[in-house]
């Protein structure tokens, strides 16, 4: 018996030993491929985020995220405009390489991959939720995304403006949370919040928390949306989720005479927050200058993918090693540009080069600032530090020239059209071409104030008042295409279609690359019974913006005016396939159905229009009229 027990014990020992050896030799289970969430908050100054040194009280979610991860204290944007800045964030390239230089009229250069395109071969499921029309899919930023949600408030309204085409942070957060609830892993998610962008109009709850501080109220609205996203991450995946949060650019808030952003290149609009948290990220505060173009290489590095050639950025992972992030002298050049003054007013383009201590602004006369000792950039040292300025100027030239025209020049045609409409007289004909935008900033601020007043008149159905306002702007700034565009809208509102068409044609001469101008002009020409030219413009606009619902919507309006009801119906159906909540398309389909005496369908379409836009009075009246006939 003792012998048997001994044998059994020996067998058990051997079995346990072999089992232990087997366990020791078996490979450890592979770590899950990290999910990646990129969150961009429009118009967010770094000094209004408390974890970076602010005192706004508006960013509790971002602050908590920063305390758990890495905070980059000197992060810089590549452009003070939404679309070019995001293009750099998503491609790791400067505007000189990705080809987007303004919020309108540009699309991402073919052959420039987005982060979504780079992650898909690794098996990533990709989705984007953007909160502003400026980032619509047709800009090319949608490349590589399985889903790209770019539907906004204001779609289908009669007088659509860029400011009306946005959605609140709470809505964006809810939509993203719904997607996360059924997301397949690994995923790459980009969520964009637009709230802090002017005009500052926070929801009542946040307005009450920040009385007399509407900008901070808007920031808090976005922060609330970020919280909804973070709370929706599955708990078992939280440790393997990489989260990056940044602002696309800042906001000037009156510094250097600029109330908002886009025209100048000071740090009030270029210094942005950057927080990285999650898988493989230590708790750290990095003081060395970093850039938006560094985000893509950093993400690729953290998920184990190679960084392709041609990027201007570099991975930030090495900054977490041995205090490398505390050596500001090692920072590579941060290039930034704005061509807003050039493209909209004929003023000089601006570019800047920043090395962490010095910043040189390539402008008429040149500007050089010592950022460590003069963070507000008030003491221009370009004469006293000539060699430093010259060195940064040479570095800027290596990045790329700002002299090349990104749009085909039409100066001769523009001058002729200006003269024919009575705009060209005296110095207004040249509009101070090549002027330094800094010296023109007061004129520009007056322009913005007047332009916004005209928008309020137009949206308030004061077509005559809006016409006077925009006509005054067009005379003061004859080469600003938006002044002519909105003057044309005011003229069309009071049914002066021939005059509206002439203004639209002039706007197209000044800016031949903006698809919305083609669609607006086509509608005015159709109302003026000039159908051949109207269809020609629709065709060209759709060629330039093939993915947008605006093209088929405009084609439907033109076809309906021309009496081609079948073509109009197909076009409106096409528009709804691209944007199911398009109130204007439902209303027009109701009108077409009613013209065919199909009252049931007409009422259904009118009701869909009213559901999509409860403020659409014509749809409400149409429903009431049809229902009264059925009683």
Q: Which two structure tokens, joined as six digits, stand for 229?
A: 């996203």
Q: Express each pLDDT in 209-227 by its tens digit.
A: 999 999 999 999 999 999 9
CB atoms within 10 A of CB 577: 12
What is the per-residue pLDDT for 515?
A: 86
Pick the more confident residue, 30 or 624: 624
**CB 511 within 8 Å of CB 408:** no
What is the per-residue pLDDT for 73?
A: 96
Task: Pick the range with the lowest mean pLDDT from 24-33, 123-132, 201-210, 562-571.
Answer: 24-33
The tokens 């366990």 sit on which residue? 23
- What is the mean pLDDT of the segment spanning 187-201? 95
Strand order in the sheet with 367-370: 334-338, 350-354, 358-362, 367-370
| Whether residue 199 has a cis bond before it, omega within 30° of 0 | yes
Q: Express each pLDDT in 423-475 by its tens digit.
A: 543 333 335 678 999 999 999 999 999 999 999 899 888 999 999 999 999 99
**CB 152 within 8 Å of CB 166:** yes
What is the per-residue pLDDT for 479?
A: 84
Which candidate, 280, 267, 277, places its Cα nearest to that of 51?
Answer: 277
Percentage of residues of the chain with pLDDT beyond 70: 86
The C-alpha torsion from 63 through 65 and 68 to 70, rounded to 10°, is -90
| pLDDT at 630 > cutoff 80 | no
Instruction: Show the DSSP H helices in 39-185 as ranges.
Output: 60-68, 82-91, 95-98, 115-119, 169-181
What is the per-residue pLDDT for 419?
A: 53
What is the per-residue pLDDT for 153?
A: 46
Average pLDDT, the chain: 87
Which candidate, 269, 607, 258, places its Cα nearest to that of 446?
Answer: 258
CB atoms within 10 A of CB 125: 18
Contact partners, residue 566, CB within 8 Å, separation at least 6: none
Task: Pick the range with the lowest mean pLDDT from 73-87, 162-176, 298-312, 581-595.
Answer: 162-176
What ranges make up the beta strands (E) of 83-151? 125-129, 147-149
Q: Express each pLDDT in 605-623 by its tens digit.
A: 999 999 988 888 899 999 9
Q: Express each pLDDT in 360-384 by its tens digit.
A: 999 999 999 999 999 999 999 999 9
What is the per-residue pLDDT for 161?
A: 47
Using 50, 70 and 90 to split pLDDT, how confident is the model at 402?
A: very low
**How far does the chain reach from its first CA to its final CA, in angstroms?**
101
Q: Express each pLDDT in 504-515 by its tens digit.
A: 999 999 888 888
Instruction: Show the DSSP H helices in 134-254 as ranges.
Output: 169-181, 204-209, 214-232
Taking the C-alpha atoms of residue 333 and residue 400, their distance in angstroms, rounded to an integer, is 13
What is the per-residue pLDDT for 418?
A: 55
| pLDDT at 583 > cutoff 80 | yes
DSSP 546-609: TT-SHHHHHHHHHHHHHT-HHHHHHHHHHHHHH-TT-HHHHHHHHHHHHHTT-HHHHHHHHHHH
What is the per-residue pLDDT for 357?
A: 93
Using 50, 70 and 90 to split pLDDT, how confident is the model at 165?
A: low
CA angle 21, 26, 27 (to 5 degrees): 145
- What is the mean pLDDT of the segment spanning 81-100? 97
């Amino acid at each position: 018996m003792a012998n048997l027990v001994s044998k059994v014990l020996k067998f058990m020992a051997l079995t346990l030993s072999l089992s232990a050896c087997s366990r020791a030799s078996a490979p450890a289970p592979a770590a899950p491929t990290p999910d990646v969430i990129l969150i961009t908050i429009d118009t967010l100054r770094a000094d209004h985020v408390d974890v970076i040194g602010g005192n706004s009280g508006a960013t509790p979610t971002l602050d908590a995220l920063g305390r758990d991860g890495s905070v980059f204290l000197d992060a810089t944007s590549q452009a003070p405009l939404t679309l070019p800045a995001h293009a750099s964030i998503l491609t790791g390239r400067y505007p000189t390489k990705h080809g987007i230089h303004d919020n309108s009229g540009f699309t991402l250069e073919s052959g420039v991959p987005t982060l979504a395109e780079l992650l898909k071969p690794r098996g990533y499921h990709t989705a984007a939720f953007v909160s502003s029309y400026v980032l619509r899919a047709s800009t090319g930023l949608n490349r590589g995304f399985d889903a790209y949600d770019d539907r906004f408030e204001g779609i289908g309204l009669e007088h659509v403006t860029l400011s009306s085409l946005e959605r609140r942070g709470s809505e964006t957060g809810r939509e993203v949370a719904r997607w996360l609830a059924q997301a397949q892993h690994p995923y790459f998610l980009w969520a964009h919040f637009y709230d802090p962008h002017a005009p500052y109009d926070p929801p009542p709850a946040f307005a009450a928390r920040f009385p007399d501080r509407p900008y901070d109220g808007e920031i808090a609205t976005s922060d609330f949306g970020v919280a909804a996203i973070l709370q929706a991450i599955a708990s078992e995946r939280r440790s393997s989720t990489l989260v990056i949060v940044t602002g696309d650019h800042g906001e000037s808030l009156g510094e250097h005479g600029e109330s908002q952003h886009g025209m100048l290149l000071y740090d009030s609009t270029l210094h942005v927050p950057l927080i990285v948290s999650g898988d493989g990220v230590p708790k750290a505060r990095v003081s060395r200058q970093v850039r938006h173009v560094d985000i893509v290489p950093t993400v690729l590095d953290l998920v184990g993918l190679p960084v392709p050639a041609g990027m201007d950025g570099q991975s930030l992972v090495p900054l977490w090693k041995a205090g490398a992030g505390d050596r500001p002298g090692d920072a590579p050049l941060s290039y930034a540009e704005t061509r807003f003054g050039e493209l909209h007013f004929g003023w000089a383009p601006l570019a800047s080069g920043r090395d962490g201590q010095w910043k040189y602004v390539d402008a008429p006369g040149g500007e050089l600032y010592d950022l460590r000792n003069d963070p507000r950039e008030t003491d221009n040292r370009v004469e006293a530090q000539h060699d430093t300025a010259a060195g940064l100027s040479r570095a800027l030239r290596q990045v790329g020239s700002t002299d090349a025209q990104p749009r085909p020049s039409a100066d001769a045609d523009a001058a002729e059209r200006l003269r024919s409409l009575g705009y060209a007289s005296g110095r207004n004909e040249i509009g101070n071409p090549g002027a330094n935008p800094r010296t023109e900033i007061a004129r520009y601020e007056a322009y913005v104030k007047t332009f916004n007043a005209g928008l309020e008149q137009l949206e308030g159905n004061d077509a005559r008042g809006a016409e006077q306002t925009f006509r005054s702007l067009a005379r003061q700034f004859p080469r600003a295409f938006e002044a002519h565009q909105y003057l044309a809208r005011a003229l069309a509102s009071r049914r002066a279609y021939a005059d509206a068409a002439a203004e639209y044609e002039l706007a197209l001469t000044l800016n031949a690359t903006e698809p919305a101008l083609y669609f607006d002009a086509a509608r005015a020409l159709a109302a003026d019974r000039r159908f051949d030219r109207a269809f020609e413009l629709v065709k060209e606009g759709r060629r330039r913006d093939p993915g947008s619902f605006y093209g088929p919507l405009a084609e439907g309006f033109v076809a309906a005016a021309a009496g081609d009801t079948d073509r109009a119906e197909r076009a409106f159906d096409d528009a709804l396939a691209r944007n199911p909540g398009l109130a204007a398309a439902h209303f027009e389909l109701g009108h077409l159905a009613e013209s065919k005496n199909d009252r049931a369908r007409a009422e259904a379409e009118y009701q869909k229009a009213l559901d999509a836009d409860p403020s659409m009075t014509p749809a409400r009246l149409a429903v009431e009229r049809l229902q009264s006939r059925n009683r």
